[in-house]
Chains A and B, each alone.
Chain A
Amino acid sequence: MIAGARLGVPRWILVVAAVGALFVLLPLVAMALRVDWAHFVPLITSPSSVDALLLSLRTSLVATAGCLVLGIPMAIVLARVPFAGQRVVRAIVLLPLVLPPVVGGLALLALYGRRGLLGGALDVAFSTPAVVIAQTFVALPFLVLSLEGALRSAGERYEAVAATLGARPSAVLFRVTLPLVLPAVVSGAILSFARALGEFGATLTFAGSLQGVTRTLPLEIYLQRETDPDAAVALSLVLVAVAIAVVAVAHGAGERVQPWRARRRSAISTARTAA
């Protein structure tokens, strides 16, 4: 911010930015103030809470793996392969980002449901895989979006060099392209994980809610709120803490990007080795 001010950012921008930061921060502070600290530990270590947290972590990890497997090729195609209707395809890929999650859940039901388009060939209703499907569906755009942007700004020069030197497309991909955008892969994966962790609407609509099977932390919070608002607030704080940790890690991954020059040099040498 100080550097920005030196470059001549108007003062009022700083004021509005500060208001924006408070807008995000204050509700979370208010929630933290509501926590019944005396009973915090028993509230978050009840069997149903622990089950929900473990289930959330487990399913979010699998969903993140799914996002990597599907999302990396999608980002590469969008960034590197020009084709007709690319804009439309990109808009469709990003759709889960803007869809209300309940709508996503209904759409998943329409495909995978017992009476869905697949005719129930995949009997996943009320099972943990259904949770993973819902989470992957909503989290995928985060990975595709951040990776595609990184691929575009990295450019194709080193890939071209490697190819000229005789490297096959797969070798170029694994030894030049992916190492170049590795930080974006990592931060995209972390954001996908965080989105999967917070998934609520699609899971509720598509997977149901049963302790240890489909009731993830957000669903547990929603249910606890009915009878035990203290437990709901305590669990919400756990979720916020995990989210903050994830964002911090993602931020760190972004900061650790090697200086551009060094990266270029190593990429060139990688291109040479690949060749």
Chain B
Amino acid sequence: MSRRVRVAAALLLAGAALTGCSSAGAAPSAAPSASATDTVSGTVTVFAAASLTKTFTELGKEFEAAHPGAKVTFSFAGSSDLVSQLTAGAPADVFASADEANMSKAVDAKVIDGDPVDFATNVLAIAVPPGNPAHVKSFADLASPGVKTVVCAPQVPCGAATAKVEKSAGVTLAPVSQESSVTDVLGKVSSGEADAGIVYRTDVKGAGSAVESVPFPEAAKTVNVYPIATVAKAPNADGGAAFVAFVTGPDGRKALTAAGFGAP
């Protein structure tokens, strides 16, 4: 009996120790092999905000097609997580943030090489389940008592943006949940648990038919800017610079526009 308790206690402690999920998702860059025609080769490691997952994965494939000697590996996570990983010394060549605040944090921590470049913008959107069961027609409708609205917590970028829109629209929401990430908000809406959620325009577009979007003019006043930069002490600095140029160039613009991002 007491042995069983001891084993269970040990398991419990191990569980507690392992619960803090860490994700050091950085692949070490391969040594650049000299190529006569293309200076871009080897592995380019890109740390990018979670909202860029779809677009950057596509862009990575196009980049590899344009530079046959190069391979792009991504680590997608919340921008603040990525900044902590970079500050802790995770090897990366490029950092793309979902907001200026996190890029500033990275710059202040001296993990960024040169000046960041704004490459995309995003605005908030109201997502509702297909058929719009609660008949949400405007931003102000979200505040009515019968509507279960889910938003991001003010601590994360999408929540900070939501708070700004509330202020500028003069509407105070009473959300049933303040989630830690925009993906969680979208999940609550697409599963039908919530009547409405405030996410980014690109999330609504990326979710396809799982959610519908209700346009609201107040969103235009709060524009989220996405900056990108090469990382200081990058294992593959040339590759990183080439990827930044690719994202900010015409190919990147095309893919970003298709995903619903605005021009900076």
Which residues of A does B touch, CB under 8 Å? Answer: 24, 27-28, 109, 113-115, 125-126, 142, 146, 149-150, 153, 183-184, 187, 191, 194-195, 198, 200, 204-205, 208-211, 214-215, 218-219, 222-224, 226-229, 236, 239-240, 243, 247, 250-251, 253-255, 257
- Shortest CB–CB separation between residue B141 and chain A, in angstroms? 18
Chain B residues, CB < 8 A from A215 = 178
A-contacting residues, B141-194, CB 8 Å: 148, 150, 153, 155-156, 175-180, 184, 187-188, 191-194
| A184–B1 CB distance below 8 A | yes
Tell me if B19 is interfacial: C-beta within 8 Å of chain A.
yes
Chain B residues, CB < 8 A from A184 = 1, 4
Q: Which residue of B lies closest to A105 (CB)?
A: B187
| B155–A208 CB distance below 8 A | no
Q: Which residue of A lies closest to B15 (CB)?
A: A198
Chain A residues, CB < 8 A from B184 = 204-205, 209
| B13–A126 CB distance below 8 A | no
| B180–A250 CB distance below 8 A | no
Tell me if B207 is interfacial: C-beta within 8 Å of chain A.
no
- Neighbour of B19 across the interface among A24, A200, A209, A223, CB < 8 A: A200
A-contacting residues, B1-32, CB 8 Å: 1-2, 4-6, 8-10, 12-17, 19-20
| A24–B155 CB distance below 8 A | no
- Shortest CB–CB separation between residue A225 and chain B, in angstroms? 8
Q: Which residue of A lies closest to B150 (CB)?
A: A208
- Neighbour of B180 across the interface among A126, A223, A240, CB < 8 A: A223
- Neighbour of A243 across the interface among B1, B16, B153, B179, CB < 8 A: B16
Q: A269–B188 Cα gap in the complex (Å)?
A: 57
- Neighbour of B8 across the interface among A113, A142, A222, A236, CB < 8 A: A142
Tell me if B227 is interfacial: C-beta within 8 Å of chain A.
no
Q: Assess A224 versus B155: contact at CB under 8 Å? Given A208-B176, A254-B4, A254-B6.
A: yes
| B9–A146 CB distance below 8 A | no
- Neighbour of A113 across the interface among B12, B80, B191, CB < 8 A: B191
- Shortest CB–CB separation between residue B176 and chain A, in angstroms? 4
- Shortest CB–CB separation between residue A56 and chain B, in angstroms? 14
Q: A122–B10 Cα gap in the complex (Å)?
A: 37
Tell me if B91 is interfacial: C-beta within 8 Å of chain A.
no
Q: A214–B15 Cα gap in the complex (Å)?
A: 22
6 contacts between A and B (CB under 8 A): A183-B1, A187-B8, A204-B184, A205-B184, A223-B156, A247-B12
- Shortest CB–CB separation between residue A32 and chain B, in angstroms? 12
| B1–A204 CB distance below 8 A | no
| B193–A149 CB distance below 8 A | no
Chain A residues, CB < 8 A from B178 = 209-211, 215
List 6 extra interface pairs beyond A24-B14, A150-B4, CB under 8 A.
A205-B187, A210-B175, A223-B153, A227-B80, A254-B4, A257-B1
| B78–A226 CB distance below 8 A | yes
Q: Which residue of A lies closest to B176 (CB)?
A: A126
Most buried by B among A126, A142, A208, A211: A208
Q: A236–B192 Cα gap in the complex (Å)?
A: 33
- Shortest CB–CB separation between residue B187 and chain A, in angstroms? 7
Q: Which residue of A lies closest to B19 (CB)?
A: A198
| B12–A243 CB distance below 8 A | yes
Q: Assess A126 versus B9: contact at CB under 8 Å? Given A114-B193, A198-B16, A226-B78.
A: no
Q: Which residue of A lies closest to B129 (CB)?
A: A115
Chain B residues, CB < 8 A from A253 = 5
A-contacting residues, B184-237, CB 8 Å: 184, 187-188, 191-194
Most buried by B among A204, A209, A214, A228: A209
Chain A residues, CB < 8 A from B15 = 198
Q: Assess A191 versus B12: contact at CB under 8 Å? Given A126-B176, A223-B155.
A: yes
| B8–A114 CB distance below 8 A | no
Q: A195–B17 Cα gap in the complex (Å)?
A: 13
Lowest 5 CB-CB distances: which A-B pairs, in order?
A208-B177, A254-B5, A126-B176, A254-B2, A115-B192
| B156–A226 CB distance below 8 A | yes
Q: Assess A254 versus B12: contact at CB under 8 Å? Given A114-B193, A209-B177.
A: no
Q: Which residue of B lies closest to A254 (CB)?
A: B5
